[in-house]
Amino acid sequence: MSETLWAQVARDLTAGITTGRFPIGSLLPTELELCEHYGASRHTVRTAIRQLQDQGLVSRKKKAGTRVEAAAPTSGYRQSLASLEDLIQFGVAHIRTVQETAEVTADASLAAELGCEEGTRWFRISSLRLDGRPGGAPIGWTDVYIDPTYADLGDVVRASPDVLITTLIEQRYGRRSAEIRQDVDAIALPAVRAAALQAKPEAPALRIVRQYLDEKGKVFEISSTIHPAGRFTVSQRLRRMYENGHA
Amino acid sequence: MSETLWAQVARDLTAGITTGRFPIGSLLPTELELCEHYGASRHTVRTAIRQLQDQGLVSRKKKAGTRVEAAAPTSGYRQSLASLEDLIQFGVAHIRTVQETAEVTADASLAAELGCEEGTRWFRISSLRLDGRPGGAPIGWTDVYIDPTYADLGDVVRASPDVLITTLIEQRYGRRSAEIRQDVDAIALPAVRAAALQAKPEAPALRIVRQYLDEKGKVFEISSTIHPAGRFTVSQRLRRMYENGHA
DNA sequence: GGCACTTTTATGTTCGGACATAAAACTCCT
DNA sequence: AGGAGTTTTATGTCCGAACATAAAAGTGCC
């Protein structure tokens, strides 16, 4: 008795995926079918499937079934975001001065920018990012969109100008970001932001849109930041990751 | 009935840890005690504890019990570059049409752009990135700088317009990238590139500079790509990573 | 045809019980 | 005291069953 039953099932399913017996995009047999096939209880089969799910090999949805997402455990490059500097890079932890808050409904244009459904309601917190020196031009302008039920965060955000809003939500509501999606592109600086950012309208600017997803894959926060050219650079270091998980 | 029972238990235990009711190094109550305390089954309590374990908050050992290891979840995000789409995003695998090749020496301006020493000699391969449709405007302009000893790659690059230059170097010289550094910022489109990219000079553009380092940390390839606004977006997905390597 | 409603179904949550296993704790003998 | 063997105990594995829930699929009415 070397290997546990659920580990055997997990291994066999993984093998089926990597060998192509269960191609990417296809559905795995249902739990009941797997129970019968392996002569195991549903509990055991679910434990095995959870293993694959944790490795990102499959995703599950009620009624729809278990879908094969990838043929191999996520390997490739690993980004290290351990240091404070990395967090600043990624989360923009610069000092924030809140300019305005409002409850908005996403029209077609905003929905396209944020990558959300049209008609979604958001509570928006707009702020300027400064780099500490009082004299210098601002680094950027950020619009943070959060679930309207968190609207009371507005005051807290003003009170803690150096804490990430994501962190505030986690502390206050226990909702953690399990995944972050970031899109970076270039745009012409919108005229309405030119004055506040001390730059010319239509000047080149970097736009960073980040979606924060919880464990269930639901987006609960979106931020859109605009940096005039030369004031901010998105930096990353990716190291090749080996099978054993080390870099 | 908003939150599941096991999630409530997990949250309460997490709160107990962060508030110091269960200090680091101490042992949590046994499963049976927690069952009684929360009026839940052992299965439910175990699911909750597994959550904390996955987050690296506690460790478990038979007989010894459940030990508190950390007061806050180990944060750290992992970037998944598993799918082909991700590789295209990162390596720009679009079809390439080589425009010119030359041997250059980095002056102060180029050294600043590439982040290398002034005076370094490079072999430069300049190419346009197309997206397949013959009619459309190009996606971007790429200057790839490689060690002059690899100059004979110029012909190979022309012959294989859809293969990453990094891959070619690896195949031909066995030199593998162990780390990639990427910097993204916004610039005004240089006048000399405007015509080829079918855009106006000074128009907003995205610039992506990537350094490829080998195992010893030596940079052997640098690429600088310019994309006029709206033609390219740098996309990333980061998933929270836990101690055990799972997500 | 298209919209509103009901049914079906696969996964999610929760319970209760049983036995296995590893490691600490204890006992006992020399 | 100290090592060998036994007991205790908390976690690990596994089963069976029931109900909840979300989403697809089917149904029927206008």
- What pLDDT shows up at residue B237? 72
Which residues from A are below 8 Å from B236, CB to CB?
A: 181-183, 236
Instruction: Answer for B39: CB within 7 Å of strand C.
Output: yes
Sequence-ordered list of residues with C-beta below 8 angstroms from that of B74, at least 6 positions apart, any chain: B55, B56, B241, B242, B243
Q: Can you tell me which residue has its alpha carbon closest to the C1' of nucleotide C11?
A: A62
Provide the CA B38 to C1' C26 distance, Å, integer: 32
Instruction: Answer for B3: CB within 7 Å of strand D.
Output: no
Question: May I ask the CATH architecture of the domain A79-238?
Answer: 3-Layer(aba) Sandwich (3.40)
| Angstroms from A99 CA to nearest CA on chain B | 24
Of A66-80, B39-53, B71-85, where does the model show the most confidence? B39-53
Residue B71, pLDDT > 60, answer yes
- What pLDDT shows up at residue A246? 37
- What pLDDT shows up at residue A245? 35
Give the angle subtended at the CA of A76 by the CAs of A75 and A81, to the nearest 5°.
Answer: 95
Give the angle subtended at the CA of A243 by the CAs of A237 and A245, to the nearest 5°.
Answer: 55
- What pLDDT shows up at residue A130? 79
Residue A191, pLDDT > 60, answer yes
C-alpha B242/C-alpha B70 separation (Å) is 12
pLDDT tens-digit map of B164-222: 777 777 777 767 777 788 888 999 999 999 999 999 999 999 999 988 887 777 888 89
Element (H or E) spanning B118, and its range? none
User: Considering only A189-198, B62-71, B218-227, which range has the smallest mean pLDDT?
Assistant: B62-71
End-to-end CA distance of chain B: 27
Give the angle subtended at the CA of B12 by the CAs of B20 and A155, to the nearest 5°.
Answer: 80
> Sorting pLDDT into bands at 50, 70 and 90, what band is A177?
confident
> Could you tell me which residue, A101 or B163, shows the higher pLDDT?
A101
- What pLDDT shows up at residue A243? 36
Mean pLDDT taken over chain A: 80
Nucleotide with the nearest C1' to A42 CA: D15
Domain ranges in chain A with CATH number 3.40.1410.10: 79-238
Nearest to A79 among B79, B178, B235 (CB): B79
- What pLDDT shows up at residue B77? 62
Side chain identity, residue B38: Y
Sequence-ordered list of residues with C-beta below 8 angstroms from that of B91, at least 6 positions apart, any chain: B164, B166
Domain ranges in chain A with CATH number 1.10.10.10: 5-68
Instruction: Answer for B6: CB within 7 Å of strand C.
Output: yes
Nearest to A188 among B78, B204, B206 (CB): B204
Domain ranges in chain B with CATH number 3.40.1410.10: 79-228
Q: Which CATH class is domain A5-68?
A: mainly alpha
B79-228 adopts what CATH topology?
A: Chorismate lyase (3.40.1410)
**Mean pLDDT of the A219-223 span:** 87
Tallying the residues shown for chain B, one arrives at 247
Which residues from A are below 8 Å from B237, CB to CB?
A: 179-182
- Specify whether the CB–CB gap between B10 and B52 falls below 8 A: yes
Kindly state the DSSP code that residue A172 receives in the 8-state scheme.
H
Beta bridge partners of B84: none
Give the angle subtended at the CA of B224 by the CAs of B80 and A185, to the nearest 5°.
Answer: 60
Q: What are phi and psi of B142, to 5 degrees?
A: -120, 130
- Specify whether the CB–CB gap between A141 and A126 falls below 8 A: yes
> Could you tell me which residue, A234 or A52, shows the higher pLDDT?
A52
> Sorting pLDDT into bands at 50, 70 and 90, what band is B66?
very high
